[in-house]
Amino acid sequence: MKIKSSALQEDSAHATLADHPDNPVPEGARAGFVTTPDGIRIRYAHWPAGEGPRKGTVTLLQGRAEFIEKYFEVIDDLRRRGFAVVTFDWRGQGGSQRLTRNPKRGHVSAFKKYRVDLRTVLKDVALATYPGPHFALAHSTGALVLLSDAARLRTMLDRAVLTAPLLGLPPGAWLPGLNGLRRRVLRTLSLGLLGRVPLKAKAPRTSWFIERIGYPAARALSLAGFGRVFVPGGNKDIFVPFETNRQTSDRTRFERFNKVLEQVPELGVGAPTLGWLGAAGRAMTVLRRREAGPNMHLPCLVIAAGKDRIVSTPMIEDFVARTKAAAYLEIAGAEHELMMERDAYRDQFWAAFDAFVPGLDVEHELDRAAL
């Protein structure tokens, strides 16, 4: 879809960003709304680089159900490294325009609409406001959107770092409690012979149920007019207890984000809709084609979480193995949200990021420009 000029409405940061004592807005913020060519208001924010040598601009892409405020710590980390930062909320979540009457439904009908959001912010905010080189830091669903549009984005971005990209859902990702119950019943009925957790090397890479039944059913029901309905078992709840969360093992960071949602609950969304599930399935299927990897020319560093229970790490590894332009790193023991994890895991993430961005060639160019 061709991107046309979009209306940009920029305000003071405190008019659009939630400020919490435990999660303050980083200094120097500018924020506002940009309207996409299809008429959706997208909330964005941007910050200049911190003190010291400037290394370029990073556009930060969130995962599903996230919001700008969740990444304030990451934004500070990037600015200290010499990067200007641009970020935004995908349509249907955070402070961007919602797409259903119930604002807690995590809905989109096609991932090409997320691509419109990304191209609009890159063109009208990132590229228009800050000098290059331009990089992307994308997490989970945001990484899937970036990969699905990599051919077009190669003209806008120099490199990208992807954390835990959504390329498949692991067994037990949907209704994990039900999966555990099934194993307990099998162990009881078989006197321990069945129901054991399989070895990692022998475990299935994705959820058979979601792949064979979930995605096709979601697409069919969406065509029948039920695309805005929550997925089975889903609801509007935006809070998850730390003890049952699958995002991070860092209690302090997890509770910090919940405090922001308690202060501004309208930033949160609940479970995804059938439309979102069907759209995600279509986007992932395209990247599994044989030509998807070789046709990827945007240099990427893909970082997976060794203990991820939200996306399939084996599917990430499989994609990178088919992609000459991508390098792969797995951080053992880490949960899904690598940038929100404990410092022992975050330090590994940042070490990998620093080694890849801006890249040796770009650093030499920046050094020459400074002379």
pLDDT in tens, 212-242: 999 999 999 999 999 999 999 999 999 999 9
Phi/psi for 246 (5° steps) reads -115, 15
CB of 42 within 8 A of CB of 34?
A: yes
Helix ranges restricted to H, 296-336: 313-321
Helix ranges restricted to H, 41-175: 72-80, 111-121, 127-129, 141-148, 150-153
Buried b (16+ CB within 10 A) or exposed e, 163-177: bbbbbbbbbbbbeee
Strand partners, 135: 58, 159
Alpha-carbon distances, residue 211 vs 179, 202, 228, 360 (angstroms): 16, 18, 20, 40
Instruction: Record the tokens describing residue 296, joined without a space.
Output: 């990827």
Alpha-carbon distances, residue 187 vs 184, 195, 227 (angstroms): 5, 5, 37
* Residue 340 pLDDT: 98
Every domain range in the chain assigned CATH 3.40.50.1820 = 10-170+205-370
The span from the CA of 122 to the CA of 157, in Å, is 9
The span from the CA of 207 to the CA of 166, in Å, is 13
Q: Could you list the pLDDT tens digit for every one of the 371 residues in the chain?
A: 443 445 667 765 656 899 999 999 999 999 999 999 999 999 999 999 998 899 999 999 999 999 999 999 999 999 999 999 999 999 999 999 999 999 999 999 999 999 999 999 999 999 999 999 999 999 999 999 999 999 999 999 999 999 999 999 998 766 555 455 445 554 566 665 555 555 555 566 788 889 999 999 999 999 999 999 999 999 999 999 999 999 999 999 999 999 999 999 999 999 999 999 999 999 999 999 999 989 899 999 999 999 999 999 999 999 999 999 999 999 999 999 999 999 999 999 999 999 999 876 665 565 565 55
* Residue 88 pLDDT: 98
* Residue 5 pLDDT: 41
Alpha-carbon distances, residue 285 vs 169, 237, 271, 280, 282 (angstroms): 12, 29, 22, 9, 5
* Residue 72 pLDDT: 98
* Residue 174 pLDDT: 63
Residue 305 sits at the vertex; the CA angle it makes with 107 and 339, to the nearest 5 degrees, is 70
CATH topology of domain 10-170+205-370: Rossmann fold (3.40.50)
pLDDT digits (tens, 9 = 90+) for 299-313: 999 999 999 999 999
Alpha-carbon distances, residue 72 vs 19, 260, 343 (angstroms): 10, 11, 16
pLDDT digits (tens, 9 = 90+) for 107-130: 999 999 999 999 999 999 999 999
* Residue 271 pLDDT: 96
* Residue 2 pLDDT: 40
* Residue 46 pLDDT: 97
Stated pTM of the model: 0.90
